[in-house]
Structure 1
C-alpha cells in the first residue's frame, strides 16, 4: 500500500540526513487519494485496544478499531458522549474519553472528579471557573474565557463549572486518566448541585436535611429549597443569561482569617493554553504545522500528567512516522480526511484506515504510526499520557538511524554504500529542502493503482 511502501523507502534513507538538526519531517504526496471506508473500515465496530494471542508485542497483538461512543446522555442544556472503561485501556493507563456539547446558555453544574483531565475546545466560546487549593492549602478561584483552540487542564479534586455564554453550540473534547480513581476505568463526577438522580444526582442529596441545616446554621426549609428547586442535572439550561465579570479584570481570590487576598492574574492562565493563536512550534511550507501544550508552557499539566498536540497537514502531505516512548496517544480527527497506518514490532500492520472528522484512535506507546492527508488536508488533535512526551521519528536528523554508521546501515539493508551516499551527496543546506523525487505506487481503490510522486521536506534549526 502507499503508506507502507513510503515507510519502507523512508526508513532506507533515514540515516542520510544533513548534519543540521532536524526538527520534524513532512512529506508531500502529489497523487494521494485515500480509500473510502468499506465494511471493514466502517465506524460501526467496537472501539477498543484489545489483545489477542500472537508472537508480536509479547505474544499479544493489538487491535485498534473505530466506533461511535458507548454511551450518549442528553440533558436540558446539552449532551455528553462517552467512551468508557475498557473502551480505551492501555497497559499502564485507563482513560475516559468524552465530548461535551453545550447548547446556548448551557451550564455544566459545579463539580469535581476523581480523575485528572485535559480538554480541547473544538467549537464556540464560553467561561470556565475553577476552584483549586493553593500551595498553602486554601481554596483559590479563577474565571476565564475559553475559545476554540484552547487546551485546558483540571487536576482531580478541583471544583469546576462551565457556561456557554456564546451564541451557538460549544463543543469540548476531553480525556481523563481514571487509573487512580475510585475504581479504575470509570470516571466519577461529584456534582455540588442538581436534582436527585441515580447516576448524575447532586451529592448533597446523600446527606440528611437536618444535618445540612445544622452545618449551615439555617432552617431546614431553606435546605429543602436548595435541594429540591433544581430539576436538572449535569448540564442545565439557564432561563436567563448569566452575567459574569470579564475574566481579564479578575484576579485569583483566596481568603485566610476572614481577609480576602487578591492574587496576580498569572494564575488564571495556568489552566489554559491556546494552540490556535500562538505561533506554531513547527511550520513546513506545503507540508503543515504543529503546536503543542506540555508542562513547559502549561505548568499544571505536570500535575495532570498529560499533554496535547495539534497538527495540520496540507493536502496530500505526510507526517513522518513516529512513536512516543513515554506516552500513549488518543488521536481525534478535527477536520479533513486521510489515512492512518500503525505498525507492530514485527512489521505487521495493526491499523490501516481511512479517517475523517470525528474519528478517534488509540495508539499505545512505542507503537509507530504514519498519517497521510487526503485532498482536503488533515487536521488532528493528539492527547498524550505524559506532560513531557518524547517523540521519536523514524527518519530525520533526530532519528536513531543517525547514530548508526553508513557501513552498518548498508549491511542492514543489504545495499552498497554508494547507493546511500548518492542520495547524501545530493543534499543542499537549505532551511526547506527537497531531497527525494521518486515515483511510488498509490492505491486508489481495492482494484486499481496509480503513481505517487513524493516530495520530502525538512525544516532545520538555525
Structure 2
C-alpha cells in the first residue's frame, strides 16, 4: 500500500464560535488519515468556553498543549454511571474511549488548546472522529418525537419541548455559569502526566504503554512525548504500530524510509503539522536550531520499537562487517559511536 505522507495542518473548521472552535484533518486533504484509519482533531476553547456533552465513535487521546481545562467524564461501561470531574493542565494526556460521554470547560483567563489523536477503525467515517451530542441544535434527542420524550422521562409536553429545543447552539458555547472547578476523583485514575514522566525519564522521549498504565491498556493507544534539543536527532527507528505525530513546538526535518529502502518522505515540519508514520517504516526526526517538540500516539497499547543504531550495536562485529561490506576498523568506530 502506498501512503501520501506529506505533513499537513488542520484543513477543516468543523465549528467556530464565540466560545472557541474545533478543527480537523480530513481525508480530502490528508488522505493518510483514511488510509491508516487514524484520526486527528484540535479543540480550542476561549475563556469561559464550554464544549457541550457528547460522545464519539472512536477512541482517542487528548493532549493539553496550552491552558487548563475542567473535564467531565461518564463511562459507558458502568452499570451505575457517575460523573467524574478532573482538571487537566499543559502536558497532560487524557484517554477518551469511544462511547464515553464528556464535556470540556475553560474556566481560565487564557485560551485552551488540546490535540486529539487516535484510531478510527470503528468510525462511521474512516479518518474522522464522528461526534454525537446530547444537547444543542444537533443533539440526539431532536431525533425523537415529543410524545416519546414525554413518556421516557415523565415530563409534560411543554417541558419535553424545552428539554430538547432550549439549547439552540452547536458544539461549543460561551457561558457565564460556574461549572465544577474541583476534581472529584484522583487525577492519576484518568490522566497521564506526560510532562512529569518526561522530566523523570532524562531522555529525548517518553512513551507510555500498557506495561506502564492500565489507562493505555483500556483504550488501545499509546501516548508519547518527544522533545529534541536544537539540531539533535531522534532515530532512525521503527515501530510495530502506526504512529501519529503532531508538532506542538519548534520545527525540524522528518525523513521516512519505506518498503525496499525507498525514501518516502523528506520534509520540514513546524508547529501545527501532522505526520503519520506507517508501521514498520523507519523514521527519523532532526530538530532545527529552535528545537522540536512533538506529541505522538501509536495505534497499539503495547507497540514494539527499535532504534536502528541499537540493532547495529547489538549485532556482533563480524556480522556487521559482512552485512555492510566494510572494514573492521569502520565497524569498530561505528559501534563505538552509537
Tell me the residue number matched to 2:141. 204
Report how many residues are paired. Answer: 336
Tell me the residue number matched to 1:411. 322
Cα-to-partner distance string for 1:262-311 (whole Å, 9 max, x where unaligned): xxx4xx53321111133546425xxxx22223323431222221111111
The answer on whether the counterparts of 1:78 and 1:101 sit within 8 Å (CA) in structure 2 is yes
Q: Counterparts in 2 of 1:45-84, with a 5 A limit?
A: 60-72=1-13, 73-84=15-26
Cα-to-partner distance string for 1:378-430 (whole Å, 9 max, x where unaligned): 1111111111121111002xx2x345332232122222224323566xx5xxx
Q: TM (normalized to structure 2)?
A: 0.92
Tell me the residue number matched to 2:217. 302
Separation of aligned partners in 2, 1:243 and 1:423: 59
Separation of aligned partners in 1, 2:266 and 2:102: 39
Q: Identify which of 118, 122, 125 aligns with 2:61.
A: 118
Separation of aligned partners in 1, 2:259 and 2:9: 28
Q: Computing the radius of gyration over CA atoms, which structure comes out larger, 1 or 2?
A: 1
Deviation of residue 104 (structure 1)? 1.0
Deviation of residue 176 (structure 1)? 3.3
Separation of aligned partners in 2, 1:176 and 1:75: 25
Q: Counterparts in 2 of 1:284-303, with a 5 A limit?
A: 284=203, 289-303=204-218
Tell me the residue number matched to 1:44. none
Gap change, CA 1:94 and 1:186, over 3 Å in 2: same
SS of alignment partner, residue 141 of structure 2: helix
Q: Identify which of 169, 177, 180 aligns with 1:244.
A: 180
Higher relative contact order (CA 8 A, sep 6+): 1
Q: Identify which of 288, 297, 300 aligns with 1:386.
A: 300
Tell me the residue number matched to 2:287. 373
The answer on whether the counterparts of 1:324 and 1:389 sit within 8 Å (CA) in structure 2 is yes
Q: Which has the larger share of helix?
A: 2
Tell me the residue number matched to 1:356. 270
Tell me the residue number matched to 2:172. 235
Tell me the residue number matched to 2:46. 103
Separation of aligned partners in 2, 1:146 and 1:121: 7
Q: Identify which of 63, 72, 92 aligns with 1:150.
A: 92
Gap change, CA 1:360 and 1:91, over 3 Å in 2: closer
Tell me the residue number matched to 2:331. 420
Gap change, CA 1:89 and 1:110, over 3 Å in 2: same
RMSD: 2.2
Unaligned runs of 5+ in 2: none
Q: Does 1:131 align with 2:68?
A: no
